[in-house]
Amino acid sequence: MIGFLGQTVAESAERELRGRIKTTTHDIQALTDQTAFLSQKVTFLLDATLGLVNIEQSNIIKIFTIAAGVFLPPTLIASIYGMNFAHMPELRWQFGYPLALIAMVLSAVLPTWYFKRRGWL
């Protein structure tokens, strides 16, 4: 609107009014540039914040994945021995129960050791 006002009063107005309109036009342009700069800065900060949140979420999901990988093998072994089958040779062995417990512990310890060795924990 100031631009339109400046064009309509360009010739008929006195010099002081034209100077004020020109100054106002420059001020509005400066404010527009400042607004664009601040908008870009806010967008950059928002992107940086979202990036940090994504990194934190990735770390949390990685921990859950590692926990699932550690507890899956012992759960599989326990579920197999929890079935009520009549013909499981390990049930009659003297060391069948301790061997199953050792297998469960080893199947949890080995992935944990591997993940720590890889630097994932």
* Domain boundary assignment for the chain: 2-118
**What integer pLDDT is reported at residue 57 of this predicted model?**
94
Spatial contact of 108 and 73, defined as CB atoms under 8 Å apart: yes
pTM over 0.85: no
Residue 93 has what pLDDT? 78
* pLDDT of amino acid 101: 84
Q: How many CB atoms lie within 10 A of CB 44?
A: 10
Cβ–Cβ < 8 Å for 68, 95 = no
pLDDT reported for residue 79: 85
User: Is the pLDDT score of 45 beyond 90?
Assistant: yes
Would the pLDDT of 5 be above 90? Answer: no
Q: Which of 93-97, 109-113, 114-118 has the lowest mean pLDDT?
A: 93-97
Which phi and psi angles does 83 have, rounded to 5°? -75, 150
CA distances from 66 to 25, 86, 111 (A): 61, 35, 9
Cα gap 14→114, rounded to integer Å? 84
The per-residue DSSP string of 60-116 comes to: HHHHHHHHHHHHHHHHHHHHHHTS--S--GGGGSTTHHHHHHHHHHHHHHHHHHHHH
Superfamily of domain 2-118: Magnesium transport protein CorA, transmembrane region (1.20.58.340)
Averaged pLDDT score across all residues of the chain: 85
